[in-house]
Structures are given as structure tokens and as C-alpha cells.
Amino acid sequence: MSTLAAQIAAWDGLATLARFDHETGTWIFIALHDDTLGVPTGGTRMKVYPSPEAGLADAHRLAAGMTAKWAAIDFPVGGGKAVLAVPRPLEGEERRGLLRRYGRLVQALRGGFSTGQDLGISLADMDVVGEESSHVHGIGPSVRDVPSGVYTARGVYAAVRASLAQVFGSAELAGRRVLVEGVGAVGVPLARSLVREGAKVLLSDLDADRAARLAAELGAGVVAPEAVPTTAADVYAPCAVGAVLNARTIPRLACRVVAGAANNQLAEEEDAQRLHDRGILYAPDFIANAGGAVGLFSVEAGASAEEVDRRLLAIGDTLGEIFREATERRESPLAGAQRRVAAVLARRRAERDAGRA
């Protein structure tokens, strides 16, 4: 059995669709993890991976994460993800051609998968996919006024406040020291909102000039990437790459809270317990970063700006419930979040089965 076949055989998801794009040498993976709550839905990621197997592993991991994200906030959508594992950066007509062929593949699923923008994919790219498929979200005129990163940042803001309330007894940001790692689509609006609330913000980014420019605008400090784990802060907000919380970095962390937007912040599940053992409160990332998905879907469904904001701030309410339960059980918040996901899925499956009886 090939490695790809073995990965697919070992996965617990609903289905895996794999296609090799001969024109560009790209492996296309669409991972459908769970449809209990609705149509499997998740972003499309384009990235150069060290191997096709690494791209497939990412698709499987991210799809399962989307199931957890939707279920944790009890949103009527299932978990899925797509990965375009390109052999090299693609531009111009070569890129457009791949995206159009991918769009036709999504359309061939006849509504079995819905997708949107993710890492390595721009809104312009999704417009190209949308030329071939009607199952693309986040590209209509109703949602273009507010980038999804702004919605994600609003949800992270709510997560930070809920975390502060749990640790310090107050959600107030004034005077709190917050380290934002990654000043991109989410980190920038998050940092601005924190500064407006009186937080003492520190910024870090691999692009030192970008971090310096934003720091000058906001009156914030700058931290070198290698110094992030050991920098003292009330809150550490990872908003860049994943796996930043691991057996090597956790013993060095100088924060009380981790609440950020990056996907898959834990290198392995055991890292949640490592944080708990150190007395560091971890806001499970699949809940803290759910704002982008919640915002886009809400706007597309016609929700008012006030209702959208209410739903985004409710992310903090959800985390507050999880934190309180975790405290009572003396466990990591991740355990409570996972139990919440399992309970939501079990309830919906029971309701579905009862309706078929």
C-alpha cells in the first residue's frame, strides 16, 4: 500500500478526494471530515509542501479542526478542508488554470463541499474558483466590505477578554500587556483593537519592518521572533504559524494566557496539559479563531452588523463556559472543548436518527 493510500485508509473522516493536476504538477486534496451539522465546509489552502503526503496530512488535520470549530460554537456546518499542494509558487495563467480546474472539481461534488479563502489563497483567487463553482463563500459583494481577518480578530478579542476574566477576575484590557505574534490580516486589526482598549501591546513578525511600521503607528513595542517565548506578557496571542506551543517552548513561556488566531497552535495534544501544568490558560484555537467563519457566514445569511458582532463576541461566552468547567474539573480547557464538540455532534446525530425513525 502506498503512503498516500495508507494515510487515507487510516483517517477517520467521511471521505478524501485526491486528484493530480498534470498541467502544474499539483496534488489536490479535498478532505471531508464530518457532515453531522451540515455540508462539510472549510477553506482552500495553497502551499508548497515537502511531499504530497505532507499536503494530505495537512488537509486531514485541518478538516478535523473545522469539524471541531463548527461544533464548538454549534454552527450548522460540517467540517472539511482543501489543500492545493503545489510544487512551486504559481503565477499568471498557470495559477488561473489550476484554480479553474479546481473549481470544476468542487462543482462536480454538487454541493457536497463548500469552500473559501485560506492560507496562500487571495480573494482574487477565490473569484477564479467561483467562475467554475457555485459553492464558494466569501466572494460576494455582501461580504467584501469587511475582510474575514477583521471578523477573526474580533473573535480573538472576545477570547482574550474571556481569558483575562478567568485568570484575573476582570476582562478589562487597560494596562494589560499583550504580545501579538504575526501582524497580518488578523494581527493588525487585533492589535489596533487592543490599543484602543488601553492594552500595552507588543508586536512580533518575521518581517521586522512590517512590525516596526505598525508599532510606530500604534505606539507599541517590538519583540524579535526568537524572543517571543521568553517575553513577559499577560497574554500571548499567536496569530501566525501553528505548532508554536510545544515541549520546547512551553517551559520557556512567560505569559499567563495564550489566546490567538493561529491554527493548530499545539504541536501535539499533550501540549495542552503541559500548559495547564504550568498554570497558563489556553484558549483552544479552534474556538478563539472561529470569528472569520462565523462573520462571513452570518453576513452571507443576511445578518445585521449588530447581530454579526453579537455572534462574534459570543465566542468569549463559549470560552467562559469552557474555562469554568475546566476549573471545576481541574483539567485543561482543551479537554472541555473536546467534550463540548463530542456532545454537540452526538446530540445532532441522535436528532437526525430520530427524524429518520
Q: Which of 47, 69, 81, 200 is catalytic?
A: 81
CB 163 within 8 A of CB 257: yes
Measured distance CA(214)–CA(190) in Å, rounded: 12
Query: How far is C-alpha 73 from the chain's CA centre?
Result: 13
> Residue holding cell 497558563?
280
Cβ contacts of 65 within 8 Å, gap of 6 or more: 79, 81, 263, 264, 286
Measured distance CA(228)–CA(231) in Å, rounded: 5
Measured distance CA(45)–CA(59) in Å, rounded: 9
Q: Is the dihedral of CA 8, 9, 12, 17 positive or negative?
A: positive
Crossing angle (nearest 10°) for helices 148-168 and 291-300: 130
Could you confirm whether 81 is annotated as catalytic? yes
Q: State the catalytic residues.
A: 81
